[in-house]
Amino acid sequence: MTISEYSEKKLFILSLLLFLVQGDNYASAAVVVEIARDFNMHISQAGLFVTAYLLPFGIFTLFFGPMADKYGKAKVISIGAFAVSIFCTLGGFALGLVSLSLIRAVNGIFAASIIPVTISLIGEKFSYDPKAMQNALGRALGMLFMGAAAAPIIAGTLTYLVFWRMVYFAYGLAIFTTAIFIRKTLDKSNIVNSNLSLKSVYREAFGNKRLINLVSAEFFLGFSVLGSFMYSGDFVQETTTFNIFWVGVALTFFGLGTVIGGRHAASIKEKVGPSIIIYAGVLGFLCWGLMGFIGIYYFMLVAFLGYGFSFILLHTFIVTTAQNLIPDKKGLVMSLVSFNLFVGGGLGTLVNSYVLSFSDFMFVFFLAGIFIFTAGVLTYKFIN
């Protein structure tokens, strides 16, 4: 199946949804500073709303992945998109940390039905043509990474010009509009397996020791990246005293690193060999481990870029290898990957909120550097 046969319009609308939902996730790194100020609390307390989003996201991917394989990925994506748009918008009406955390928790639950399921749907549509699948997934993942790249600058600009609540209003409206187009244009007749059961698919998954070992590296990756990135905006602002717009610019360099790494991961591995996995872990450790010790804005830009590059190389190698281990159940595989990534990220934000209550950012970044290096070592061990 070629991209033209599947329809450029359908691929674009799915990719746009990935862009927006990923943006809704990463925008939190830019707005958490202003949320803490607005709610009159320390950044370590305000960061708990990030944990409230990440943990349900990770946990519920275990449910939505198999359900998408059973009842249809398009149906799950369509329902999830409308729900995310509603709860994303409601985030802008939150009256305090408790209400914001509850709203973001429900938002995270439904977001779990979109990112991993959409990626697996695209992979399913092109599963009989490896080259076409690589091209389609490359375009979709490129939009996903651009969502992460653009979110901080979008959030920083809206917060600087208007207010942090406008970020959630804007993303909610955009996702709602996209959900309407998805409902009208997406083919609902994708492959389903009505006899599939959660018990059977997870028995098969946990029986594949290589798969379980491999996806466990995502936990360390999530703890490192998602667990620390959400606090990095506050670090940049405290260190440089720049306004929220320039904070958003700095955080955007992380997303640019993911875009560059995502586009060239396969060719880099082909040229360098499997050792690139270890190099990626070392790069992540150096960029993030030194972040807390060097308070120069331009170094921060380089560190964000290198850290994003390191993260996406490791993540891409894990995902592509894991999907090949159980090729007929891509929804299940993406559920396991997302579970480890986002639960690791949720626990990371929780641990770092505690660390910041009595220590400083240097320890947070250094710990995250150790975790991404560990992820690199584990990935190298279980891929080879």
| pLDDT one-digit tens code per residue, 173-204 | 999 999 999 888 876 555 555 566 667 777 77
Mean pLDDT of 143-149: 79
More confident residue, 191 or 27: 27
Q: Cα dist. 275→6, 172, 267, 315 in Å?
A: 36, 42, 13, 15
Q: Range with the lowest mean pLDDT among 12-26, 59-73, 222-236, 279-293?
A: 59-73
Give rounded-to-5 percent helix, strand, coil for the chain. Answer: 85, 0, 15
Three-state DSSP state, 196: coil
CA distance 155 to 174: 14
Q: Is the pLDDT of residue 221 over 90?
A: yes
CA 13 to chain centre: 19
Mean pLDDT of 40-45: 82
Q: Is the pLDDT of residue 5 over 70?
A: no
Mean pLDDT of 308-316: 88
pLDDT at 192: 58
Q: Phi-psi category of 151—alpha, beta or left, where left has phi over 0 and alpha has psi -120 to 50?
A: alpha
Q: Cα dist. 247→215, 216, 292 in Å?
A: 32, 32, 15
More confident residue, 7 or 343: 343
Three-state DSSP state, 35: helix
Q: Phi-psi category of 273—alpha, beta or left, where left has phi over 0 and alpha has psi -120 to 50?
A: left
Three-state DSSP state, 42: coil
pLDDT at 359: 77
User: Which pTM does this prediction carry?
Assistant: 0.80
pLDDT at 89: 96
Average pLDDT of the chain?
84
Which ranges of 112-243 would DSSP assign to H, the alpha helix? 115-125, 130-161, 165-185, 198-207, 209-240
